[in-house]
Amino acid sequence: MAKWTPTHEAPEPLEGPIVPTIIGGTILWFVLFLVQLPFYGWFDDHGHLWWLWTCLAGAGLGLIGIWYVRGRDAALKRAAEDSAAAAAE
């Protein structure tokens, strides 16, 4: 098992525009749902109705993701402010 143990440190997590990325992905899923909605009958006839509901589920989960990453972003900013205030004292 020792040969699988990493010998280097893990890289720092990538930070970037997380909230706009999640919002963009959510909008994309919802647009895909809306684009497929007029073809509901075709999807139903061919057994591909799950495509439509997958897009709607992606949009719904994206809304949860937006709520989560906005809270995470706010918590990171509060922690940075608290550490800056503690360093200033």
pLDDT of residue 1: 54
Domain residue ranges in the chain? 18-81
Q: How far apart are CA 51 and CA 44, in angstroms?
A: 10
**The predicted structure's pLDDT at residue 54:** 96
Tens of each residue's pLDDT in the chain, 89 residues: 567 777 788 888 777 888 999 999 999 999 999 999 999 999 999 999 999 999 999 999 999 999 999 999 999 899 988 888 888 77
Helix axis angle for 49-88 and 18-36, nearest 10°, is 170
